[in-house]
Chains A and B, each alone.
Chain A
């Protein structure tokens, strides 16, 4: 017979780590909310009849977030055979609140006190036997990260599930409340499952609307229950929900005082707290974050002696895809005596294009490695906290920043992650702005121009990230002033997990997963696009005759590009490079790496030099610094790739909003690029004063106006004196 064991506990208590340990699974372990938002199951290692269910973290069974609804619905409706309640031993008081609720569900519970190694390291002591007596259920010490005690905990859960050993409900409440609960249970009678009688009676006492709906209480029942609740509220001079909460915490306080002995004084700061005093400091937090990102981008994409990402990319471009691979294929193709057209397709097209993209793999891997380390160490959750302070000023919460952090890898899961935002307007705004954050696919664009035009400066990559954040903030302020988005942000509660050394396995796995996705895309979509691009830029009409062209400025692709390149003339995309830049931007809709692939095909059409950096030299010749920066900004901020657009469509679930989101991004990108090129170019002396300078100034003035204008105020915030009357 199958046994189902649910892992329930607070966020960051170690449920997913334990789940991976027990099932051999490789689910992602993250440090911020939204990593696990749905239940997922796996079989216990060595026992196919035992299913382990990992649930999203919850603080209580009174749900105010999407994750809590998912967990609560599962526990109450699907009733697992046992609950393995993970409790963070270093935060036991807060974690036991959920435990007191789980014990009322009438399902066998085993409490696993996790992070016991940290508890011992801190010099604290938890008397597990006493705790077990107080809670009247088995309590096992575990360290999910180290795999200590996990098998014993699972075994205990199987035992209690098999014996249906339900704990007696601990004496949480005083006589007054107990009497009220007992009376409510009598009124509910056979309407409820007797094993869950306590849980239902507490929820009815708290006036939980969801439970009232589920039970469909009759008017007669309501008329009997309401006086019972009111009597207790009057006696205790408090509302029912607060009474229950307060008595739970009193009970927990009593247990903790008997069973937990702390080494240090109660309010001594831990090492994590000391680090956080600096890292989340009101003034220092943001500069520290920018500095850290600067160091990350320097190591990944800079031009310094510590820029190992760039060293790898230089080798990949100059040696691997500059000599080894081309020579290898050249040898094969020459020995097979293939004709010039096929030779060009493979050498100039496929190798030139795909090679240009794959050349950036070292930089991408180093970047993802560093971001994974930051995530695993626990710093990324601090970033969400830091950004919450900033975002709240313009009406979003830090929860909106989490999809953006995810989007640094790929925009598609970033957009998906927005579904955990409860408020629709905040969710829409998050979806619309997540695309501004440079994803992994946009990194080659940054890397290409940083290397070709800006001498490998890591400031380029850092500025791209800062521009992305600035675009989010500016968009947030502007959009929040419109009726569709106006309103207070949702509260954001998040635990900051203790800092710990990164787990090498987790970090390498996360890095490889993202990097492999990048490589797979290069070998599939980008390879296919290369063939089409090669054809379009290698063939055209010369003197009325269709055939291969020597100069791709006369190709089919050039004709298509030139037909629409005029749109981008104000952005500085002029001359021979205009159609190339235009075509590259449009192919970027397939996948952002396509921009680099397209340049690789277009600029590689000439002979590939032995040095392998022919492309960079040709790009530097065609793009002035300001035009290059304008191009980079446009591609960073404009509509995302088709996959991300698909994700937007699914999450918005509305065609109008989908088009609005994509249209907004394109417009923002165009205006930003225009302002940067026209005004930046004027200041640098690269651009002369023209009508477009006036347009750029006007647009800048418009943006400033939209930023400072008073926004729409919802009715509840606006006083309407006409309707008021004086009470007699």
Chain B
């Protein structure tokens, strides 16, 4: 009985962790404006385009 309880708890823990990691991976973080704290998968700013704009200005 003890084995089953422990296995159950471990399984729930593993599932919760996997769900959390998947949710972190999928959900885009809200932009805080601070790139150096950003762990987001995608940025809504097109930095390449902005760099191009600077080159043209110069």
Chain A contacts to B: CB under 8 angstroms:
27-28, 30, 34-40, 54, 56, 62-66, 69-70, 208-210, 213, 333, 335-339, 342, 345-346, 402-403, 406, 412-414, 416-417, 419-420, 422, 424, 523-525, 527-528, 531, 643, 646, 650, 653
**Which residues does chain B contribute within 8 Å of A531, judged by CB atoms?**
10, 14
Report the Cα distance A56→B32, complex, angstroms: 11
CB-defined contacts of A38 to chain B, threshold 8 Å? 31, 33-35, 45
The CA-CA distance from A373 to B14 in the complex, in Å, is 37
Contact A413 to B31, CB < 8 A, known contacts A333-B6, A336-B5, A524-B21: no
Q: Mark B31-58, 1 if CB is under 8 A from A, else 0.
A: 1111111110111010110110110111
A424 contact set on B, CB distance < 8 A: 51
| A209 proximity list for chain B (CB < 8 A) | 56-57
Q: Is B12 an interface residue (CB 8 A)?
A: no
Asked, given contacts A70-B50, A210-B56, whether A36 binds B17 with beta carbons under 8 Å apart, the answer is no
Contact of A527 among B2, B17, B33, B34 (CB under 8 A): B17
CA distance A179 to B53 in the complex (A): 30
Additional pairs, 17, CB under 8 Å, beyond known A28-B37, A416-B38, A527-B13? A30-B34, A34-B35, A37-B34, A63-B54, A69-B53, A333-B6, A336-B6, A342-B7, A402-B36, A406-B36, A413-B37, A420-B35, A422-B51, A524-B21, A643-B39, A646-B41, A650-B41
**Bound Cα distance A345, B7 (Å):** 11
A342 and B54 within 8 A (CB): no
Q: Contact: B34 with A35, CB < 8 Å?
A: yes
Q: Which of A70, A339, A413, A525 contacts B45 (CB 8 A)?
A: A70
The secondary-structure label for the interface of chain A is helix
Q: Which residues of A are found within 8 Å of B35, using beta-carbon distances?
A: 34, 37-38, 413, 416-417, 419-420
Residue of chain A at shortest CB distance from B56: A209
Verify if B27 is at the interface (C-beta below 8 Å from A): no
- How far apart sit A333 and B5, CA to CA, in the bound complex (Å)? 10
Are A69 and B2 interface neighbours, CB within 8 A?
no
A360 and B1 CA atoms in complex are apart in Å by 35
What 6 A-B pairs come out closest when comparing CB atoms? A336-B2, A40-B33, A417-B36, A38-B33, A406-B36, A337-B2
A sample of 12 inter-chain contacts (CB < 8 A) reads A27-B33, A28-B32, A37-B34, A38-B34, A38-B45, A70-B45, A213-B56, A333-B6, A336-B2, A414-B36, A419-B43, A424-B51
Q: Is the CB of B58 within 8 A of A412?
A: no
Chain A residues in 8 Å Cβ range of B50: 66, 69-70
B-to-A contact residues, CB < 8 Å? 1-3, 5-7, 10, 13-14, 17-18, 20-21, 31-39, 41-43, 45, 47-48, 50-51, 53-54, 56-58
Residue among A56, A64, A339, A650 making CB contact with B33, cutoff 8 Å: A56
Q: Which B residue's beta carbon lies closest to that of A25? A: B32
Q: Report the bound CA distance from A39 to B32 in whole Å.
A: 8
A247 to chain B, nearest CB (A): 21
The residue on A at minimum CB distance from B47 is A419
Q: A69-B50, A210-B56 are in contact. Are A338 and B2 (CB under 8 A)?
A: yes
Instruction: Give the residue name and chain of the B residue nearest to A335 (CB).
Output: B2
B1 partner residues in chain A, CB cutoff 8 A: 336
Is the Cβ of A27 less than 8 Å from the Cβ of B32?
Answer: yes
In the complex, what's the smallest C-beta–C-beta distance from A172 to chain B, in angstroms?
A: 22
Bound form: Cα–Cα A38–B36 in Å: 11
Given A406-B36, A416-B38, A419-B35, CB of A338 within 8 Å of CB of B3: yes
Taking the closest CB of chain B, its distance from the CB of A589, in whole angstroms, is 16
Cβ–Cβ < 8 Å partners of A30 in chain B: 34, 36
A66-B39 contact, Cβ under 8 Å, with A27-B33, A210-B53: no
Find out whether the CB atom of B36 lies under 8 angstroms from the CB atom of A208.
Answer: no
Contact residues in A for B42 (Cβ distance below 8 Å): 650
B36's contact among A69, A413, A422, by CB below 8 Å, is which? A413
Distance to closest chain B CB from A657 (angstroms)? 14
B32 touches A64 (CB 8 A): no
Cα-based distance from A527 to B37 in the complex (angstroms): 24
Asked whether A66 lies within 8 Å of B54 as measured between CB atoms, the reply is yes
State whether A40 and B32 are in contact (beta carbons under 8 Å apart), knowing that A337-B2, A422-B51 are contacts in the complex. Answer: yes
User: When the two chains form the complex, which single residue of A56, A64, A413, A646 contacts B38, counting CB atoms closer than 8 Å?
Assistant: A413
- Measured between C-beta atoms, what is the minimum distance from B25 to chain A in Å? 10
Bound: A515/B32 CA distance, A = 19
Residue of B2, B17, B42 contacting most chain A CB atoms (<10 Å)? B2
A422 touching B17 in the complex, CB below 8 Å, given contacts A37-B35, A338-B2: no
